[in-house]
Amino acid sequence: MVVRELTGGIYFGKPRGFGTNDKGEETGFNTEIYSVAEIDRIARVAFEVARKRGGKLCSVDKANVLEASMLWRKRVTAIASEFPDVELSHMYVDNAAMQLVRNPKQFDTIVTNNIFGDILSDEASMITGSIGMLPSASVGESGPGLFEPIHGSAPDIAGQDKANPLATILSAAMLLKYGLGVESAAKRIEAAVTETLDNGFRTGDIHSPGTLHCSLLAHQSRVLRLFDK
Ligand SMILES: NC(=O)c1ccc[n+]([C@@H]2O[C@H](COP(=O)([O-])OP(=O)(O)OC[C@H]3O[C@@H](n4cnc5c(N)ncnc54)[C@H](O)[C@@H]3O)[C@@H](O)[C@H]2O)c1
């Protein structure tokens, strides 16, 4: 699980814009900035998520270079004292990008800033085989949340009945679990997805020899049939 800060950091920081340097060259610039309140908020969300999962939280930053990351690390470490049952570790983002490919199973929950989370969550999606496999939840302190697949509208395969529906279906599971607190129904959706995959059914993006190729609609109806059971 990647917990990504979504409303701060370099995508929103000021000053930002275009300028001219002292050599008269055009420049573009942005600001990576985080306040204690922003870091504490996302850290608590991440610790809560980790507590419900495997109890391990890895905070990803670039604290060897960036002041915003130094503050990030300091605050995440401070918040850890509120969650003694969660094991906290820290990792630099370049190493995390490599470790995700080398040994993804070492991670349980990752918490990171907006830009690192943007990149690492896309990288993580490929570990599952396809961007069509991963759901996401965008949650504020007091709802409502937004639950959607991490992928976009896939215009290059629109209308071809071959998109992978699992990320969208699993987004409904996240809605039930993290939005509505109905964990039992979420588990039924996840189990239906797992069983469909265990039965060998695959859309084209994750199809390999020995598995059963099926269309978006066929895949979707298989999962829903299992859920109805
Ligand atoms: N969260 C979001 O709302 C979100 C995220 C990414 C892109 N977008 C938007 O979606 C549109 C298309 O963007 P893009 O093409 O860069 O990204 P995309 O995620 O739509 O597609 C990227 C690649 O992944 C493939 N893909 C995506 N979903 C898939 C699925 N379910 N099954 C199989 N393959 C899948 C696509 O065919 C494409 O090759 C843009 O308008 C973009 O702004 C929205």
Residue 122 has a pLDDT of: 87
Residue 126 CA to residue 174 CA, distance in Å, equals 19
Clarify whether residues 189 and 96 are in a common domain.
no
Clarify whether residues 169 and 213 are in a common domain.
yes
Clarify whether residues 163 and 213 are in a common domain.
yes
112 in a structural domain: yes
With a pLDDT cut of 90, the percent of the chain lying above it is 79
Residue 52 has a pLDDT of: 87
Give the residue from 84, 117, 150 where a domain finishes.
Answer: 117
pLDDT band of residue 153 (cuts 50, 70, 90) is: very high
23 in a structural domain: no
Q: At 113, which CATH number?
A: 3.40.50.2300
Residue 226 has a pLDDT of: 83
Clarify whether residues 64 and 146 are in a common domain.
no
pLDDT band of residue 126 (cuts 50, 70, 90) is: confident
Work out the angle at residue 129's Cα, subtended by the Cα atoms of residues 148 and 120, and round it to the nearest 5 degrees: 65
Q: Which domain holds residue 134?
A: 125-229
Clarify whether residues 110 and 160 are in a common domain.
no
CA of 153 to the centre of ligand 1 (A): 5
Clarify whether residues 164 and 93 are in a common domain.
no
Residue 166 CA to residue 163 CA, distance in Å, equals 9
Clarify whether residues 3 and 111 are in a common domain.
yes
**For residue 228, pLDDT beyond 80:** no
Ligand 1 interacting residues, C-beta cut-off 6 A = 130-132, 148, 151-157, 163-164, 167, 205
**For residue 70, pLDDT beyond 90:** yes
CA of 189 to the centre of ligand 1 (A): 23
Active site residues: 11, 62, 94, 118, 122
Mean pLDDT of all residues in 108-115: 98
